[in-house]
């Protein structure tokens, strides 16, 4: 069986963006706002080098909320993918949920199977890619990421990204860290001990 690292995207791999109208930090809606944190390539390279399969698990409800379009998010995803693959980082799957239970756009506004904290995508990866979830990891900056990992049976690491502080506080991760660099250190240490 294969061990995996499941990663949330916004606030973990790329910068959150200030919406000047609402004063809230959001995922990028414009292609020029998709900026990886400077340490991401090196960090993901270490995980890849240690033999982990990488999976992205990202909620993108702003389509359902009418704040952006699927087309715009697909362009941003394409840039995200290029930034990674051009530097030798290959995710096994990119899993996105575009739904929200209380959105405005009917097509995407309903309860769905795939929105974190539901572990749908982790279980999908387990089945399709023979992932050993008990020896895998989920990394995110919100309670919903940690709850998703726990529901799927992975170990969990909460990144305490300052801009998303109001989205967490009620989950019990195995580890809390400052950023992806510390998360990767923990994973590598645990890998060496086995």
Please report, as ranges, the residues that interact with Mg ion according to CB under 5 A.
8, 10-11, 141
Between the two ends of the chain, the Cα-to-Cα distance in Å is 15
Tell the residue number behind the tokens 């309860």, with chain if given. 111
Least Cβ distance, residue 142 to Mg ion (angstroms): 5
112 contact choice in Mg ion, Zn ion, none (CB below 5 to 8 Å, kind-dependent): Zn ion
Instruction: Go through 69-104 and write b for each residue having 16 or more CB atoms within 10 A of its CB, e for each that does not.
Output: ebebbeebbebbeebbeeeebebbbbbbbbbbeebe
Q: Which does 50 bind (CB under 5 to 8 A by kind): Mg ion, Zn ion, none?
A: none
* Minimum distance of Zn ion from residue 116's CB (angstroms): 9
For residues 116 and 155, which CB has a smaller minimum distance to Zn ion in the complex?
Answer: 116
Instruction: Return the residue matching tokens 């305490």.
Output: 160
Q: Which residues bind Zn ion (CB under 5 A)?
A: 97, 99, 112, 114-115
Question: Minimum distance between the CB of residue 136 and Mg ion, rounded to whole angstroms?
Answer: 18
Pick the closer one to Zn ion by CB: 115 or 142.
Answer: 115
Cβ-based neighbours of 185, under 8 Å, separated by 6 or more: none
């Amino acid at each position: 069986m294969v061990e995996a690292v499941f990663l949330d995207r916004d606030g973990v791999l790329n910068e959150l963006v200030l919406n000047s109208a609402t004063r809230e930090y959001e995922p990028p809606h414009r292609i020029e706002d998709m900026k990886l944190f400077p340490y991401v390539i090196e960090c993901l390279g270490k995980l890849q080098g240690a033999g982990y399969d990488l999976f992205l698990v990202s909620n993108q409800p702003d389509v359902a909320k009418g704040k952006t379009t699927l087309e715009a998010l697909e362009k941003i995803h394409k840039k995200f993918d290029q930034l990674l693959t051009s530097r030798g980082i290959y995710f096994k799957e990119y899993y996105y949920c575009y739904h929200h239970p209380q959105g405005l756009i009917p097509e995407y506004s309903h309860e769905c199977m795939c929105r974190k904290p539901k572990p749908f995508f982790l279980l999908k990866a387990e089945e399709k890619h023979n992932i050993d979830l008990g020896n895998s990891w989920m990394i995110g900056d919100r309670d919903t990421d940690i709850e998703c990992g726990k529901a799927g049976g992975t170990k969990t690491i909460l990144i305490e990204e300052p801009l998303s502080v109001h989205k967490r506080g009620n989950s019990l991760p195995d580890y809390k860290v400052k950023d992806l660099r510390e998360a990767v250190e923990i994973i590598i240490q645990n890998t060496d001990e086995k």
